[in-house]
A and B are shown apart, each in its own frame.
Chain A
Amino acid sequence: MARNICKRILQTVLILFAVALLIFIMLRIIPGNAIVTMMGEHANPEAIERMTAELGLDKPFYVQFWKYISGVFSGDLGTSYSLNRPVSELIATAFPNTLRLAVCAALVAWLLGIVCGIIAAVKKNSILDHSFMGLSLLGVSVPVFMVAMVLQYLLAYKWKLFPISSGSAGWIGYVLPAIALGWNSAGSIARLTRSTLLEVMQEDYIDTARAKGLRQVAVIVFHGLRNAVLPVITMMAVQLSSLLSGAVICETIFSVNGIGRLAVQAIEGRDIPLLQGTILFSTALVILGNLVADCLYSVLDPRIRKEV
């Protein structure tokens, strides 16, 4: 198994490399723009040239890329054009906020989702089932910004239960954005949990468990859930990516100083190093998360352990 883990790690590194390359290519197709934006359109052409040379943007592509990659390994992701600080520093300040937001959202999503899914499966076709599944469908269909704005309007502005902007509000400031962000994921998780549990309960080993004399609740918990949780874990890993996507919106609406907001700022400011850094970082997070999920899956499913 250790061999396979090494293999996976190598694959991961390669993918990260490809990702960095892709970002690099995409952002440099139009080199001139960045400097012009930064210096203003009426800046002196010579000044622009000087700036370009200073930033090394006139060097051939592979040189630039190599410089960047070697920088990444030593933790240097370049300097932000618009904010004039090292990108790594900016990311380091912003990341904990996004992490807090994502963790809260994930907790909301997974706990709520799994619990609702289990109840819906156990009480199949009851009112509870239909309402939970209806809510889940709603969760999956409502745009993140809508939930965020409705929450902000109602709970923060009108009823003043929570702060409107989360910047300096401490943990309570993360409640609303976490709900907005987690709402969507909760819906998918609930639906998947329900359908997987229903399928698992049709399996033969459930009959065996009941034939042993195990009571219904114990059958569901010890045999049903143990097997049903596996696809749900896969989905959780997939959702890491969408959580980060949704974070971009939530952070903007609730003024959370996280990576998403940083990325938006980078685009608006035509700030290539910052944009590169934030996207590389986010993608690395997603890939890492998937790796962890895969390891977790192989721990929980002994059949995979052998193959892995």
Chain B
Amino acid sequence: MEPIKTREEKELRDNSFRAVCRRLFRENKPAAFSAILICLMILAAILAPVITPYSYEEIIDPLNRLAAPSLQHPLGTDEIGRDVLTRLLYGARISLLVGIVPTLISMAAGAALGILAGYMGGKVDTVIMRLADVMLAFPSMLLAMVIMYTLGDGIINIFLALALVNWASVARIVRAETLKLRETEYVEAARSIGVGSLKIMCRHILPNCLPSLIVLFTLNIPSAILSESSLSFLGLGIQKPMASWGLMVNTGRQYLYTNPWLSLAPSLAIMVVVLAFNFLGDGLRDILDPHLKKQ
């Protein structure tokens, strides 16, 4: 390795949280902005009961149903008189949760299986990869639909459904990384002094996959959010009385021609969140792992 000559070169190799943040804010303004936006949104979702002027179930004005946006109701009211903005904020909780939790699960499962398959090779590899192939053969929406049908309603089931749909592609990518890492010299060195397989996988392979995993995590959250909203849109995801943005779009659909903002507001919210995560993911990928672009 050549000696690191300039300060810039040093930064290029520093993957610590602080350094990454610094680079993000300096080089990729949209990504940095997105990061802030996401934090704000998560904060808003958590603090929804505090910051909304109306409470969740409060039917303000049964006579004021389907009102256009006004000062009192910045985004209008829905079909039974509830304030849309309030519903949007509460819906954020579900939608964001359903974006993050299943992705975490599928990341964990996919990474574990991918490293196992890549490192152990042989029969383990074949079995896991064939399983992944089968999962990947399904169009994701249809698979999610079937799983929801099988498991029934409920938010836990949605978590499981979305996680099951996504783990296979994660496993594939992680396996490819593991195959590369397995041939590195420090892994060989560890093996030669008798370090056990499990330890190698946890201590050497996993930490080196982490940058790619972080990028993948950020980039897979949008697809989970989009999947959930599509499912709820079809009536197969979140059910009443819980609200998610997808469900709001669905219920608003009936009034598309008279009160388009009922569907438009949650759709825009979804779009903004997804865009933000995509920007952030792209920015992180440029910093942490340019090779991921190929996949």
> Do the beta carbons of A242 and B139 come within 8 Å of each other?
yes
Cβ contact within 8 Å between B253 and A244: no
Across the interface, which residues of A come within 8 angstroms of B256, CB to CB?
A: 149, 152-153, 157
Which listed residue (A30, A150, A283) contacts B150, Cβ 8 A? A30
Do A15 and B145 have beta carbons less than 8 Å apart?
A: no
**Do B271 and A286 touch across chains, with their CB atoms under 8 A apart?**
no
Interface residues in B211-241 (C-beta closer than 8 Å to A): 222, 226, 229-230, 233-236
B105 in the interface (beta carbon within 8 A): no
Segment of A58-66, A86-94, A134-142 engaged in the interface with chain B: A134-142
Q: How far is the CA of A287 from the CA of B270 in the complex (A)?
A: 31
Q: Is there contact, CB below 8 Å, between A267 and B134?
A: no
- CB of A165 within 8 A of chain B? no
**B142 lies within 8 A of A263 (CB):** yes
Inter-subunit contact A145/B249 (CB<8 Å): yes
Are A268 and B146 in contact, with the CB atoms below 8 A?
no
Report whether B139 and A283 are in contact in the complex, using a CB–CB cutoff of 8 Å.
Answer: yes
B293 at the interface (CB under 8 A from A): yes
Q: In the complex, which residues of chain B have a beta carbon less than 8 angstroms from the beta carbon of A26?
A: 146-147, 149-150
Q: How many residues of B contact A (CB 8 A)?
A: 41
A127 near B: Cβ within 8 Å? Answer: no
Whether a CB of chain B sits under 8 angstroms from the CB of A105 is no
Partner of B234, one of A137, A146, A252: A252
Q: Is the CB of B150 within 8 A of A27?
A: yes
B274 within 8 A of A: yes
Given contacts A137-B279, A144-B230, A263-B142, whether A153 and B270 have CB atoms under 8 Å apart is no
**How far, in Å, is B32 (CB) from chain A's closest CB?**
16
Of all chain A residues, the one with the shortest Cβ separation from B278 is: A141
Tell me the complex Cα distance, A264–B139, Å: 14
> Min CB distance, A300 to chain B, in Å?
17
A22, A143, A260, A267: the one contacting B229 at CB < 8 Å is: A143
Known contacts A19-B134, A143-B229, A149-B253: A264-B234 contact under CB 8 Å? yes
The residues of A that contact B235 with a CB separation of less than 8 Å are 268
A15-B137, A249-B234, A286-B137 known; A146+B271 contact, CB < 8 A = yes
The yes or no answer to A29 lying at the interface (CB within 8 A) is yes
Any B CB within 8 A of the CB of A279: yes
Taking a contact as CB atoms under 8 Å apart, the answer to whether A279 and B233 are in contact is no
In the assembled complex, A220 has its CB within 8 A of some CB on chain B: no
Asked if A279 meets B138 with Cβ closer than 8 Å, knowing A141-B274, A149-B267, the reply is yes
Q: In this assembly, does A231 line the interface, its C-beta being within 8 Å of a C-beta of chain B?
A: yes
**Chain A count of residues within 8 A CB distance of the other chain:** 46
CB pair B139–A244 under 8 Å, yes or no, is: yes
Confirm or deny: B263 has a beta carbon within 8 angstroms of a beta carbon on chain A.
yes
**Which of B143, B268, B278 touches A137 (beta carbons < 8 Å)?**
B278
Q: Using Cβ atoms and an 8 Å threshold, which residues of chain B touch A149?
A: 249, 253, 256, 263, 267
Contacts A27-B150, A267-B145 given; does A249 touch B140 at CB 8 Å: no
The residue of chain A having its C-beta at the shortest distance from the C-beta of B245 within the complex is A143
Contact residues, B143-163 vs A (CB, 8 A)? 143, 145-147, 149-150
Q: Residue on B with the closest CB to A12?
A: B137
How many angstroms from the CA of A242 to the CA of B142 in the assembled complex?
10
- Provide the residues of chain B in CB contact with A144, threshold 8 Å: 226, 230
Q: Output the least CB separation between B95 and chain A (Å).
A: 11
Residue A169 at the B interface, CB < 8 A? Answer: no
The answer to whether B133 and A249 touch across the interface, beta carbons within 8 angstroms, is: no
Q: Which residues of B contact A304 (CB under 8 A)?
A: none
Nearest chain A CB to B37 CB, angstrom units: 13
Cβ–Cβ < 8 Å partners of A227 in chain B: none
Contact with B along A253-295 (1 / 0, CB 8 A): 0000000100110011000000100110011001100100000
Residues from chain A with a CB closer than 8 A to the CB of B260 are: 153
A residues near B17, Cβ cutoff 8 Å: none
From 15 to 47 in chain A, residues with beta carbon under 8 angstroms from any chain B beta carbon are 15, 18-19, 22-23, 26-27, 29-30
Given A143-B274, A275-B149, A153:B134 Cβ within 8 A:
no
Taken together as a complex, chains A and B put the C-alpha atoms of A278 and B145 apart, in Å, by 12
Given contacts A141-B278, A146-B267, whether A157 and B230 have CB atoms under 8 Å apart is no
Task: Give residues in A with beta carbon < 8 Å to B.
Answer: 15, 18-19, 22-23, 26-27, 29-30, 137-138, 140-146, 149-150, 152-153, 157, 195, 231, 241-242, 244-246, 248-249, 252, 260, 263-264, 267-268, 275, 278-279, 282-283, 286-287, 290
Give 28 A-B contacts (CB < 8 Å), ordered by A residue.
A15-B133, A18-B134, A23-B146, A26-B149, A137-B278, A138-B271, A141-B222, A143-B267, A143-B271, A144-B226, A146-B249, A149-B249, A149-B263, A152-B256, A153-B256, A153-B260, A157-B256, A195-B293, A241-B137, A242-B140, A244-B139, A245-B142, A246-B141, A248-B145, A249-B230, A249-B234, A267-B149, A282-B139
Q: Enumerate the 7 nearest inter-chain pairs by beta-carbon distance, A residue then B residue, closest first.
A: A245-B141, A146-B267, A244-B139, A141-B274, A141-B275, A245-B139, A26-B150
